Amino acid sequence: MKFFLLVLIFSTTFFAKADTYQLFEEKGKVGMKNEQGVVIIPAAFESLGWSDGSFSVIGQTTGYRLNKHWGLINLKKEFVTAAEYEELTYKGGEYVVARKKLNPVSTKTGCINLRGEVKIPFGYDGIEISGLRAIVFTLAGAKFNYGLADLQNQILIPLSYKTIFSLGTLRYAVENREGKFALFSDDGKPITDFKIDSLSKFYKGYSIVYENGLQGLINREGKIKLPIQYQAIKIDEEGIVFAKLPGEWIYLNNKNEIQKKFFADDLIPVSNKRQIVRAGTKYGLLDAESKWLIPAVWDSLTEINGNLFLVRAKNKWGAITDKNQKIISVAFDSIDFENGFRVFLKRNGWQLIDIAGKSLTQKSYQSIIKFNGASWIAQNGIYWGVLDVTGREIVHCVFDSIGDRTKNLVAVKFKGQYGIIDKNENWKLAPQLFPIRLANDSRYLLMQRGNSFLKNLNGDIIYFSSYPIEFRENYWIERLPNGNENKISYDGLKIIEETFSIPTQKFTAKGKVSFSFNEGLRGIYKDDKYGFEDVHGNLRVANRYDSIGDFHEGLAPVKLIGNWGFINASDKIVIHPNYQHVSFFQNGLAIASRNNKTGLIDKSGSRVLDFKYDTVKKLSNQKFEIVSSTLKGRVDDKGRIEIEPRFEFLQETVQGFLMAIQNGKWGLISEQGLGIIPLIYERLVWDGEEKQYLAWKKSEWKKMSIE
């Protein structure tokens, strides 16, 4: 004999005292005992309880299963109903939702009470009991129709809605086919219009409603207690309401004068003086006058060009114009834009659609990838081909794979071998064993084991290499094991260029064997040392240095015995090698480091800026950024400190102003460090088109007075 876990069963309105029962199993059948071990229902059933797996005794009644069907039985061992139901689930009070097979092809749901009496006939596909009401629905085609009935099956709300759910306190949320909600009473009367995006269950007498990403508050009568303008609303256990507005964007000029204000959580300037706005979780588009062009109803909004936008709603993508007109239905699982739209549906695949919303491809593909400005690679089944920009298969999907594409040729793999075809699918290189790479319309690379051969379409070998190859538009690069590169034309000729990369702060030129001329001299490397020669090849500075940099303003950095200094063109040491790192001279100043600290020196070697900064960086406006312990400041082009390093972020805007962050707050300062826009904002954006600043101030929670 097998006992089940002890289960606590409590009565409904029929009983004031709860009893405890336990299930037991005997010879593969299930029965029930009370807590004294007395058998109440003998072990004669496949299961006791309810078809959802739960077990309870309600009003001395429970469910039983015989011959794979369910019925009701009481504790007197009397069958309340025959075992005639497919499912039987207790839903509260005296009501049980049941499913019954009406004929071989139709199974419907109804509601019975604990006495087995049918309260709601078996005519629905689903029922959810909610107090003294039943949310009922039927399936029509591929969609469900929801309605509300009382427990005598009187229809209170017709079965014509997308969904209905209980909000508590005798109120229901009803969603229409356009995806908008309204509040209904339990007698089926509408309390609000269908304009709400969603709403919460009632708590402390209030429901939070959502529209266009913002929140408001209504009471049971549908009266607005807080307008729908808040980023968030919360209600505590005492019923006190707190609300937080979206962040406030303040439009400021460079005199800190307010031009206008706007509540939003994010503003993204886009073309034509417009702005993408995020309000709560939704995005919309404002024109230059802060009027809505696209309402804030989208989960995502991305500008493609001046008048087209990608949009997302409920994890589906589409495209609209800046006038909020639909171009592509918001029905796709993925979408992107590149000379047209590439859209994806999980159940079908990928398609191409033009900017007018017209489908270009005649069928869907498993993949459409690698657009090169003129064509796409497409996969149909396990085979690959090429589509042009009109969606036409210019290379049919019959190949194992598609490789490089040029203007007129395509490299392909066909039945395990490699070849080249033209866009009329004529073979220009018959299939053969080894992989190939297309270089251009007349050259290809044949890649055999250990060697690569550059050939023309006649098969003539132009060049071969055993090293890695990289194609460029007019030449290709051969990468040598020592780190050097050969630049080779597609006629197999080496292209000789004298190049030398000039570091901006640190000179570590050792290992470089080719230099460019600068101020009439160029570096040479001989006998493991560096020097300089003139344009005639005459040695002007003896090769005695460990490393060098180019001449600038008459001086060149040189390295001796581990330190850097400067020489002139006559090989005279002008600044002794006393520095860990140096830059070349610009406008009479060079950056130099000593004892792991950085400063500025002039051409005489005199210290212009003390060596006490972690970093000194030359800026495009000829000034310098100084950094000390991650804090930033500014030095002018003469080496004079304008702004001590006290900001986490500094960025030049216009007219000598700098956007700055201090202690996590944004503001605007002058180039002398004077405050222009106070550092009190969470964000500051320069709108170059409107010549103004957008400052964002975060909203705080406030206790609301509800009348």
Q: Give tens-digit pLDDT for 367-423.
A: 999 888 889 999 999 999 999 999 999 999 999 999 999 989 999 999 999 999 998
User: In which residue ranges of the chain is CATH 2.40.10.480 found?
Assistant: 439-495
Residues 6 or more apart whose CB falls under 8 angstroms from that of 469 comprise 437, 445, 452, 476, 477, 478, 479
78 DSSP 8-state letter: -
Give the whole-angstrom CA distance, residue 146 versus residue 92.
Answer: 21
pLDDT at res. 500: 33
pLDDT at res. 353: 93
The pLDDT mean for the chain works out to: 90
Give the whole-angstrom CA distance, residue 233 versus residue 325.
Answer: 32
pLDDT at res. 707: 79
Residues 6 or more apart whose CB falls under 8 angstroms from that of 422 comprise 408, 409, 410, 428
> How many percent of the chain have pLDDT more than 90?
74
Contact indicator for 598, 573 with CB cutoff of 8 Å: no
* Tokens 């409107």, residue located: 690
Neighbours of 167 (CB within 10 A): 18
pLDDT in tens, 32-65: 999 899 999 999 999 999 999 999 999 899 999 9
Residue 118 forms beta bridges with which residues?
112
pLDDT at res. 546: 93
CATH topology of domain 439-495: Thrombin, subunit H (2.40.10)
Contact indicator for 481, 469 with CB cutoff of 8 Å: no
Does residue 510 surpass a pLDDT of 60? no
pLDDT in tens, 521-538: 999 988 889 999 998 889
pLDDT band of 18, cuts 50, 70, 90: low
Report the range of poorest mean pLDDT among 8-17, 363-372, 573-582: 8-17
Tokens of 330: 């918001």
Does residue 327 surpass a pLDDT of 50? yes
> How many percent of the chain have pLDDT more than 70?
95
Contact indicator for 263, 278 with CB cutoff of 8 Å: no
Average of per-residue pLDDT across 637-650: 96
Strand ranges, E, within 580-682: 581-582, 589-594, 597-602, 607-613, 615-618, 624-628, 631-635, 641-647, 649-652, 658-662, 665-669, 675-681
What number of helices (H) and strands (E) belong to the chain?
0, 75
Residue 116, phi then psi, degrees to nearest 5 = 85, 5
Average of per-residue pLDDT across 219-223: 96
Tokens of 613: 């900064």
User: In which residue ranges of the chain is CATH 2.40.128 found?
Assistant: 498-611
Give the whole-angstrom CA distance, residue 686 versus residue 684.
Answer: 7
pLDDT at res. 481: 83
Amino acid in position 237: E
pLDDT band of 3, cuts 50, 70, 90: very low
Contact indicator for 71, 112 with CB cutoff of 8 Å: no
Give the whole-angstrom CA distance, residue 684 versus residue 697.
Answer: 9
pLDDT band of 16, cuts 50, 70, 90: very low
pLDDT at res. 483: 77
pLDDT in tens, 627-640: 999 999 999 999 99
* Tokens 């490393």, residue located: 547
pLDDT band of 499, cuts 50, 70, 90: very low
pLDDT at res. 414: 96
pLDDT in tens, 285-309: 999 888 889 988 899 999 998 899 9
pLDDT at res. 512: 39
pLDDT band of 2, cuts 50, 70, 90: very low
pTM of the model: 0.64
pLDDT at res. 10: 38
Give the whole-angstrom CA distance, residue 300 versus residue 310.
Answer: 8
pLDDT at res. 494: 76
CATH topology of domain 498-611: Lipocalin (2.40.128)
Q: Per residue, what are the HEC states of 370-403?
A: CCCCCEEEEEECCEEEEEECCCCEEEEEEECEEE
Give the whole-angstrom CA distance, residue 540 versus residue 296.
Answer: 71
Average of per-residue pLDDT across 678-696: 89
pLDDT in tens, 176-200: 999 999 999 999 999 999 999 999 9
pLDDT at res. 330: 94
pLDDT in tens, 151-175: 999 999 999 999 999 999 899 999 9
Give the whole-angstrom CA distance, residue 8 versus residue 503.
Answer: 80
pLDDT band of 496, cuts 50, 70, 90: low
Give the whole-angstrom CA distance, residue 65 versus residue 63.
Answer: 7
Long-range contacts of residues 656-665, Cβ cutoff 8 Å, at least 24 apart: 657/254, 658/634, 659/684, 659/686
Residues 6 or more apart whose CB falls under 8 angstroms from that of 337 comprise 304, 308, 310, 319
Q: What is the CA radius of gyration of the chain?
A: 40
Tokens of 591: 């950056």
Average of per-residue pLDDT across 581-600: 95
Give the whole-angstrom CA distance, residue 212 versus residue 192.
Answer: 17
Does residue 611 surpass a pLDDT of 80? yes
Give the whole-angstrom CA distance, residue 56 versus residue 62.
Answer: 6
Give the whole-angstrom CA distance, residue 381 versus residue 364.
Answer: 10
pLDDT band of 261, cuts 50, 70, 90: confident
Report the range of poorest mean pLDDT among 4-8, 71-75, 232-236, 691-695: 4-8
Amino acid in position 593: S
